[in-house]
């Protein structure tokens, strides 16, 4: 049975909507892309599309920027968080 909610990785939002949802400008969003902080999916015509997971990642980036972390540091933090998530997903829970 479908909950009617899109999958968190489903690309739904244009750059302007994604920027608004994340509380940043489209220009800043493009800067974050250039620094490898996220990679949106693209339509056949090349239009960027962002998912709910992308929006959450953008909000995390904004939090780190606000706390004084530079973009290189943010990339490192996000890479470590991604690796941690990947490792937790591949390991059985305690007691299994």
Q: What is the pLDDT of residues 4-51, one digit of tens each?
A: 788 999 999 999 999 999 999 999 999 999 999 999 999 999 999 999
What secondary structure letter does DSSP report for 13? B
Query: What is the structure's pLDDT at 95?
Result: 54
Q: What is the pLDDT, as a whole number, of residue 89?
A: 87
In a domain, 10, yes or no: no
Would you say residue 9 lies in a domain?
A: no
State the pLDDT confidence band at 90, using cuts at 50, 70 and 90.
confident
Look up the domain containing 52 and give its range: 15-90
The answer to whether position 26 is within a domain reads yes
| Angle between the N-to-C axes of helices 52-66 and 71-90, in degrees from 0 to 180, rounded to the nearest 10 | 130
């Amino acid at each position: 049975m479908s909950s009617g909610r899109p999958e968190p990785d489903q690309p739904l939002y244009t750059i302007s909507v994604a920027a608004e949802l994340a509380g940043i400008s489209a220009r800043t969003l493009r800067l974050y892309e250039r620094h490898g902080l996220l990679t949106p999916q693209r339509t056949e015509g090349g239009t960027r599309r962002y998912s709910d997971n992308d929006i959450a990642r953008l909000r995390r980036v904004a939090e780190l920027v606000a706390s004084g972390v530079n973009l290189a540091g943010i990339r490192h933090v996000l890479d470590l968080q991604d690796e941690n998530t990947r490792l937790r997903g591949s390991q059985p829970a305690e007691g299994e």
